[in-house]
Amino acid sequence: MSNFLPNELVKRLNEQEGFDSEAFNKVHEQGDKITSIRLNSLKQDTVPFEDVSPVPWCDRGYYLAERPVFTLDPLYHAGCYYVQEASSMFIAHILEEIGLKNSSIRVLDLCAAPGGKSTLLVSYLGSESLLVSNEVIKSRANILADNIVRWGTSNVVVTNNDPSAFSRLPGYFDLLLVDAPCSGSGMFRKDQDTVDEWSLANVKLCSDRQKRILAESLDALVTDGYLIYSTCSYSREENEDILDWLSTEYAFETISITLDSDWGIEETQSAKHKAIGYRFYPHKLKGEGFFVAVLQKKERQLTFNRKKNKFEKNAVPPKVVSNWIEESQNHVQFMHGDHIHIFPKNYEDDIKWLQHVLYIKQAGTNIGKWTGRELLPSHDLACSVHIKQDLSAQDVTLDVALQFLRKESLDKEHFTAVKSGWCLVRYKETNLGWIKILANRINNYYPKEVRIMNL
C-alpha cells in the first residue's frame, strides 16, 4: 500500500478490472515531475527549448526534459506558449475527432480559470468561432483574463458569472466545456499536499456540485450540441456516474473518440447507460490523472429571441483603428468607458446579447484609451495577433527584456531604432509591451499588475 495515498481511494480503484495498484502506487511514490507546454501557433511555430518530445494526442504540445524558470522567459509573458498539463491537452484531439477544429461555432468554457483549456479552444477552433470563457471566482477571473490577453485573439469574451446565469441564453452555444471542480485525486502526484483534503465525503460534495453546475447551464447548449465534461478525479462518483446522470436526466448520447493504443489512455463505460469516458493514469502514460467524456445533446432545446440590435453611433474615427490593427474591416469597434475595443464583425450582434445577461469582464481586444484626439495604446494591443506589423519597434536582449518586464527604468542606448514616441519592445521578434521615448527619458508602460516581482 502507498505511503501517502488514501487507502479508500486505492481500494475503490482496485475494484476496476485489471487495475494495477502496484504500478499506480509506485508512480506516486516516485513523484516524478512532468512539465509540458503548448505552443501558441499564432505567435510561435518552433519550440523555444531544447530536448523536447511531442505530446502524442496534441500536435502543439511538448514535454520538456526539465522545468525551466518560466518567469525568466520573456516568450512566456508574451503568450508564445502555455504551460499546461499534458493529459488535459487531449481536448485538442477531441475537437478534431468531432469535426470542430477550425469551425465557426459559439463555445462556452464554463469553469475556465486559469485559462489552459480556453487558450487551447481558441487555438484549435480558429478565428471564425466565438469563445465565452467564464470563471465564477473573481480573483481567478482576473488570472483568466490576463492569460486570454497574452494569447492575443479578439474572438474571446471573459465573463465572471455563476453557471446559472447562462440559462438566460437557451440554445446559444454549440459546444459546452465543463472542466468541473472536483476532489482532485488526479493531481496527487503533482501536489502531495492536497492528499490530506481528500475524503469520501468530499467526493460526494463535489459530485453534487458538479450536478448543480451542469443542471444550471445545460439549457445554454443547442440541440445536437456537444458537451465535453472533464475532471482531475479518479472517483466514479465524479466521472462515470455523472455520465449516467446526464444520460438519464437530459437525454445525452455518448460519443466515442478514436484512440491510438500506444497512448495508454483507458476507455471506460458508465454502469447504467454504457456512456464512454477516458481515463488517464500516470502509471500508464506521461501525464497526470484526468477523466474526460464527450456527449451530444438530443433533447429539443428552445432558443431565445435573437433580434437584431441597434448599435449606438460610434464616436471613434475609423482610421484610428486601422492605424493600429491589420485588416480592421474584419472587426467592429465599440467604446467601453473611454477605451476602444475591437470584436469580430461576424459576431457583432452577439456582444450585445451577451451584455444583456452576463457580467462581462473583458470583450474582444482593448486596443487603447481614446482621448478624443489620439489613441494611447494598451498592453492588450501589444499582445494582440491583430496588431499592425509596421509599427515602431525595438528588438532587445534578454537582460533588457527582463528589465522591461520588471517595469524598471530603461536606458535610451538600448532603443536606437526609434527616436521618439510610442515603441513596441520586442524579444526575438515578439512583442512584449510598450514604452514611450521622450527627449530625456523612456517611460515604461508595462502593466504593474503583471510585472515580474521576484527574480
Q: How far apart are CA 439 and CA 23, in angstroms?
A: 66
| Residue 311 scores a pLDDT above 70 | no
Q: What share of the chain is helix, strand, coil (3-state, %, to 5)?
A: 35, 25, 40
Q: Exactly one of 58, 182, 206, 232 is catalytic; name it.
A: 232
Question: Does residue 116 have a known ligand-binding role?
Answer: yes
Alpha carbons within 13 A on the beta-carbon side of 430 = 25
**Closest to 38 (Cα-Cα) out of 143, 150, 200:** 150
pLDDT of 54: 98
Q: Give tens-digit pLDDT for 358-388.
A: 999 999 999 999 998 899 999 999 999 999 9
* Eight-state DSSP code of residue 265: P
Q: Read off the pTM.
A: 0.96
Whether 181 has a binding-site annotation, put simply, is no
Would you state the pLDDT for residue 329? Answer: 92
Q: What is the mean pLDDT of residues 249-257?
A: 96
Tell me the pLDDT tens digit for each residue of 314-348.
Answer: 667 778 899 999 999 999 999 888 999 999 999 99
114 a known binding residue? Answer: yes
Report DSSP state, residue 125: H
Is 113 annotated as a binding-site member? yes
Structure confidence at residue 309 (pLDDT):
67
Look at residue 2 and tell me whether its pLDDT is greater than 60. no
Distance between CA 447 and CA 338 in Å, rounded?
18
Check pLDDT > 50 for residue 1. Answer: no
Q: Are strands 393-395 and 421-427 parallel, antiparallel or unpaired?
A: parallel
At residue 194 the predicted structure's pLDDT band, cuts being 50, 70 and 90, is confident
Which of 174-188, 261-275, 292-306, 410-424 is the least confident region?
Answer: 292-306
Q: Establish whether 182 is a catalytic residue.
A: no
Q: Known binder of ligand: residue 115?
A: yes
Chain segment 132-151, per-residue pLDDT in tens: 999 999 999 999 999 999 99
CA–CA distance, 393 with 344 (Å, rounded to integer):
26
Per DSSP, 79 falls in state: T
Looking at residue 193, its pLDDT comes to 84
What pLDDT does 336 receive? 86
Q: Evaluate whether the domain defined by 87-297 bears CATH number 3.40.50.150.
A: yes
- What local confidence, expressed as pLDDT, does residue 286 receive? 97
Query: Do 170 and 225 touch, CB atoms closer than 8 A?
Result: no
Q: What is the amino acid identity at position 150?
A: R
CB atoms within 10 A of CB 366: 21
Contacts of 131 (CB under 8 A, 6+ apart): 107, 108, 109, 118, 121, 122, 125, 155, 156, 157
| CATH assignment, 392-455 | 3.10.450.720
Given pLDDT bands bounded at 50, 70 and 90, which one contains residue 310?
Answer: low
Q: How far apart are CA 199 and CA 255, in angstroms?
A: 31
Give the model's pLDDT for residue 314: 65
Name the residue ranges covered by the structural domains of the chain: 87-297, 392-455
Please identify which residue in the block is written with the cell numbers 487558450: 119
Residue 312: pLDDT above 70? no
Cα angle: 118, vertex 121, 122; to 5 degrees: 90
Report the alpha-carbon angle 346-351-354, nearest 5: 135
CB atoms within 10 A of CB 208: 11
Residue 258: the pLDDT is 98
Q: What is the pLDDT of residue 313?
A: 60
pLDDT over 70 at 107, yes or no:
yes
The confidence band for 102, taking pLDDT boundaries of 50, 70 and 90, is very high
pLDDT given at position 269: 97
CATH topology match: 87-297 vs 392-455: no
- Residues with Cβ within 8 Å of 318's Cβ and at least 6 positions away in sequence, in order, are 328, 333
